[in-house]
Amino acid sequence: MFPKRGWQLWLLHFIAVLGLLWMLSHLSQLKTGKSAVYILRYQWLQYANDDESPEKVCKCSAILQGEKEELQKAKLLTITKDFQKIIQIPDEYYINATQDCRKFKITRKYITIPLSKEEEEFPLAYSMVVHHKVQNFERLLRAIYTPQNIYCVHVDKKAPASVFIAINAITSCFQNVFMVSKPVNVVYAGWTRVQADLNCMADLYNTSTTWKYFINLCGQDFPLKMNSPGENGVPGNAAPSLGHFLSVEHGTHTHSHAHICMYTDTDLHSPPHPLQTPSTLISSMFVLEDERIQALIEWAKDTYSPDEFLWATIQRMPGVSGSTWPNRKFDITDMNAIARMVKWQWHEGSEGSLQAVYPECKGHHVRSICVYGAGDLQWLTEQHHLFANKFDADRDPIAVYCLEKYLRHKALIELV
C-alpha cells in the first residue's frame, strides 16, 4: 500500500505522463496535417488498410503514382482464379447486410453527416440507371452519398429479381434514396434509356425543391471529384457520343459551356425546332414542361441513341432559361468539358502520338469504351472531369478500390 501522500504524488505523476504522451501524439498528428478534432470525428470514415477487402494487398499509393512494379502486380492479381473468386459479391450479401441498416452504414462507412457547411447548402439530385452489377451500384452510391443530396434509382424492369431486391434493400436504408416510381424496360440505344432519366427527374422534382443541380449516372460510372459546388459542362461536338451527364439548374440561372451533338438516320424528318448553340444550364421545369422540349422529345423517340444528343441539344436551344446567344466559339470537346471522362478505343494512342486524344486503355474494352484498370488511375486523377465511365468491380476491383480510398482520403483531409 502507498502512503496517503505518496499515493497522491504517484497519481499526479501518472496523469502528467499520460498528458505528455497525449501531447506528443497530438503534435505528431499536427505534423501530418491532421488535427485532434479530425482524428476523433472523422477518422472512422477513412478507408483503412485493415479493411476486409481482398484488394487491400495492393499499394494504392504506388498505383496512383503509376509505379510499374505495383501496377504489374495488380494486373497479375486480377487475372488469378482465386482472386476473381473472392471478389465476387452475390446479390444475397446486400439483401442480408441491409437487414440492419445502422450496422450496414457504419461498416460500409457511409458519410451520414455533411462534411462542410458549403456542401450542406449545396444539395445535388442524382438519377442512377442500373440493370446489373449490384456491387458496382453500391460502391458508386457510397462514393457520392451525403445526407443533403437526394437520389433516384432506376432499375431496368428486365433486371434479374435478385438485382431489384438487393438494390431496393440498399435504398431502403436511406431516407434520401428511393426507387423510381415508374420503371421502364431499358433498350440499348433506344428511347427508354432517356425515359428512365426523365422519370427520375420528375420524381426528384416532385420530392424536393432544394437541390441545385441534377446529375444523371449509370451503374458503371464513378466520381473523380468529391461533392462540392462548382461549374459543370456538357460537351458537344462531331463525335457520336456525349455520355449521359446533365447539369440541370433548379431555380436560379447560371452559365456553363454546353454544346450540341445531333446525329440521326438520314431518312428521318428534321427536328421540330431550329437547334443552335447557346451555352446554358437549363431549368428542370423547362425539361418537364416546355412545349418545344416536349416536341423535341417526341421527335427524338424515333432516333438512334437519343441519350447521346438530347441533353446537349436542349442546352443549346435558343430561349431556354439561362441560355446565351448561339455562337460556335462555345464548342468544346468531351476532353475539355468537365462532365464525364470516356475513353473511346479509336481515340486512344501511345504516349507522344499527335493523333491520340488520350493514352491507351489499361483495362479492357466493351463496345469500344475503355473499362478502366488500375493502370488508368494516375491519368484519370489528373483530369478535371467530375466522373468517369466505365468501371467494373467484378472484373477489376482494384481500380475502384484505389479510387475509393483516394477520394475518401481527399475529402476528409481537406476538412483539417
Q: What whole-number distance in Å separates Cα of residue 115 and Cα of residue 147? A: 10
Q: How many CB atoms lie within 10 A of CB 148?
A: 17
Alpha-carbon distances, residue 186 vs 15, 28, 169 (angstroms): 66, 54, 21
Instruction: Judge whether 340 and 388 are in contact, CB under 8 Å.
Output: yes
Instruction: Judge whether 179 and 129 are in contact, CB under 8 Å.
Output: no
Q: What whole-number distance in Å separates Cα of residue 7 and Cα of residue 199? A: 73
Q: How many CB atoms lie within 10 A of CB 210?
A: 13
Nearest to 170 by CA among 189, 149, 145, 195: 145
Phi, psi of 16 (to 5 degrees): -65, -40
**Which residue of the set 55, 308, 348, 404 is catalytic?**
308
State yes or no: is 308 an active-site residue. Answer: yes
Q: What whole-number distance in Å separates Cα of residue 229 and Cα of residue 214? A: 13
Q: What whole-number distance in Å separates Cα of residue 298 and Cα of residue 306? A: 11
Which residue numbers are catalytic?
Answer: 308
